[in-house]
Structure 1
Amino acid sequence: MKPIITSLLETDAYKFSMGQAIYHQFSDYKTTWSFKCRNQGVTFTPEMVEEIRTQIQHYCSLRFTEDELAYLNNITWIKGSYIDFLRLWQPRYEDFEISNEGPCGLNIETRGTWLNTSMYEIATLAIVNEVYFRMAYDYEDLFESFKNRLQAKIEKLEKGEYVAGAFSEFGLRRRLSAEAQDLAVAALKAADFGAGDSKFVGTSNVYLAKKHGVTPVGTMAHEWIMCVGQGNHKHNPAYSNWYALDAWVKEYGVLNGTALTDCITTDCFLKDFQLTFATLFSGVRHDSGDPIAWGEKMIAHYESLGIDPQTKTLLFSDSLNLEKASAIYRHFKGRVRVAFGIGTYFANDTKVDALNIVMKTTSCNGMDVAKISDVEGKGMCKNPDYIHYLERCIEWRMKNDNGNNSLHV
């Protein structure tokens, strides 16, 4: 199989925004990441596992080119010191453990500095996806169904049957293939949405953003809150969001600011998202739970702080399709800025089910870390005792912290 990842730019934009802040503030942090396939009945054959190894070895041979670094250097919030670091950076195959163990026949773990392991996640997932779909199915048949479905979606957007507001393509980690995602970004850019309420903004894939001249989109992921908030042994994990938001503001000020709300539940997040942070961050991202209920909660929170919700953006990114996006957009239109990050639906919608695979941080600095989320099934942690501890910390805080302390000034 030809190389799947051919450029170190081929990762989600938030890996660079988090990576710069990690480089400047947490360069000594060490993390472990674990792969998980949530699909029932999916099996990776030994041949697939061997191909995945080969592809990751090739990925680890890549380096940033000067042209790629010049592109990154033109992004407003990226600093020259981080560009100099990337000029020297390379993935380390020694950080990977890949075997055919586990319930799905594939086990992947990465261990090392957070600076390194954070960068491996997206490339690994893209490789696993493409290897699986090329080896388990008639790929050309799948690709044909993908093209037909993509064209049908774009036609409905152009006709106004679907309304997606400002939307971006977020499909890299679960795409059918590099070819499929490239086609999707090109087709969405070329589409004519007229003067309607749909506007294609860009893609999370920085390589494709550069190639097609669209905006690279993305700010932070759950790993940021998990590691910054829970990786320091001295921190109370129920205050994870405060530590994460504070470190982000130190790095970026008012730039690059869309906060992720659901790592340890949105209700706990709102304890820390008080006037200063709510003013500095341009918006918030939804990734679990009922999107309408979440959006109403965020609007009420902004209003309680005296902030006009129409000056803020609600970015929805949880398992979206155009029907869901249209319903959300119409519900909130005129009350708040609405944006969407649409992933699998644009990058891997075929006649067969997409894989639901993730790689998540499972330890930081030798400590367990966890994502709880707003719904069951999206969390991940290897130690049930730590989940119990974290939930007790959150429960105590929600009952006893009235918000009148120095962390909220």
Structure 2
Amino acid sequence: MIIQSLLDTDLYKFTMMQVVLHQYPAAQVEYRFRCRTPGVDLVPLVTRIREELDHLCSLRFADDELAYLRTLRFIDSDFVDFLGLFHLNARYVTIAPSTEHAGEIDIVITGPWLHTIMFEVPLLAIVNELYFAANHPDADLDEGRARLRAKIALLRDTKGFERVRIADYGTRRRFSRAWHDEALQIMKAEWGTHLAGTSNVWFAMRQGLVPIGSMAHEYLQAFQSLGPRLRDSQTAALEAWAREYRGDLGIALSDVYGLDAFLRDFDMYFCKLFDGARHDSGDPFVWGDRVLAHYVHNRVDPRSKTLVFSDGLDVPRVMDLYSHFEGRCQLSFGVGTNLTNDVGPTPLNIVIKMTRCNGQPVAKLSDSPGKNMSDDLEYVSYLRKVFGLPAQNAGNTAPA
């Protein structure tokens, strides 16, 4: 079976889940799957996905995995105790061929946020691996090894980039679990300090790497329902995060409502409180320049803050960004698909996004319109008005 451990997921699922346990244990949510790659027929995989889901729901955290989680400074002991009792339940997930679009499938996750938050990453990894096993069974991993080593050599052997550090963010869209494991071993052996760590907690534990992550879009989206009022939902989410981690895990995600709205909310208090911000949509050079100017405007030395770039990166793009921002701030880079699914076949662009919380629609208003996802366009239009965003882009929001 594909998923062998509940740790085989991204760190930010644990960090967000701890907030949910401590502050919002009764929240009810809905997630929906979407394949953004046109012309892909996933219907033949439905039975196998269900079988893999059943296996996923049979897993429990092992004693050594719980012990490892206890070593992470930001993970509380009561949360680990909870995980010792935790398991996923398949009754919260429905998987079926789409009744509206031929070749597409519907995956809907509905239930308590605390008990459904862990489905997203392993389900995406399952769909990916089943798709490539079915459609590219003879894919040549030697090609993947050659491509990976070329990326490693480009960064390692180019003068002026000795301090660049890249983290693996590739769990959700990896070619396979086995290739993800091998790719990390190659990077660890041949990249040395260029490899900052991995978002995957299982591989971090197994390979002695640093686990990396903080918050994802779903966390801030949920506060559209959980917060005191809609306009204050972003600040409420950041306040709740600070209340939970007391200055740790201080990278704020900036693109749930677009950069303009983020900078309006990310005032001097948050500029000083958080260690930095993460870019995940829109032009990264424009984003970085504006964030650094925002720090200066708020009398914060940008050289003391970290900009994290994670939107569709490859090694040449990382090097361009490093050249542009080096010396102006601290820098961190997360590379996903280009490290874990560049073996020949074209990767899938698949996502699972939160669409409702406590019965109300929630949405992301990205600086890249193609990343927007909601099943309620009237709500998206209202959300744009509340956050003062141009109405003309509302139609770019794709249904779940």
Same fold (TM over 0.5): yes
2:139 corresponds to:
141
What per-residue deviation string (whole Å, max 9, x for no partner) do you get for residues 83-130 of structure 1? 111011100011110012253432101111101221100010000000
2:156 corresponds to:
158
Q: Greater CA deviation, 161-170 or 254-263?
A: 161-170
Distance 1:54 1:80 in 2: 33
CA displacement at 1:162 relative to structure 2 = 9.1
2:171 corresponds to:
172
1:33 corresponds to:
31
CA displacement at 1:75 relative to structure 2 = 0.2
2:82 corresponds to:
85
1:128 corresponds to:
127
Q: Greater CA deviation, 388-397 or 218-227?
A: 388-397
Distance 1:395 1:192 in 2: 44
Mapped pair 1:279 → 2:272: yes
Alignment equivalent of 1:60, drawn from 47, 57, 60:
57
- Ranges in structure 2 where 5+ consecutive residues have no aligned partner: 391-400
CA displacement at 1:293 relative to structure 2 = 0.3
Distance 1:314 1:182 in 2: 27
Letter in 1 for 2:131: Y
Count, aligned residues: 388
1:183 corresponds to:
182
Report matched runs for 1:261-300 at 5 Å. Answer: 261-300=254-293
CA displacement at 1:156 relative to structure 2 = 1.8
Alignment equivalent of 1:99, drawn from 88, 96, 101:
96
Q: TM-score, normalized by length of structure 1?
A: 0.92
- Ranges in structure 1 where 5+ consecutive residues have no aligned partner: 398-409
Report matched runs for 1:214-293 at 5 Å. Answer: 214-227=209-222, 229-232=223-226, 235-293=228-286
Alignment equivalent of 2:70, drawn from 68, 73, 82:
73
Letter in 2 for 1:82: F
1:337 corresponds to:
330
RMSD, aligned CA: 1.7
1:407 corresponds to:
none
Distance 1:128 1:151 in 2: 27
Q: TM-score, normalized by length of structure 2?
A: 0.94
Letter in 1 for 2:383: L
Moved over 6 A (4+): none
Contact 1:150–1:184 (8 Å) recurs in 2: yes
CA displacement at 1:142 relative to structure 2 = 4.0
Distance 2:79 2:87 in 1: 14
2:396 corresponds to:
none
CA displacement at 1:336 relative to structure 2 = 0.6
CA displacement at 1:161 relative to structure 2 = 7.0
CA displacement at 1:281 relative to structure 2 = 1.0
Q: Percent identity?
A: 41
Distance 2:271 2:359 in 1: 32
Local SS of the residue matching 1:141 = coil
Mapped pair 1:308 → 2:309: no
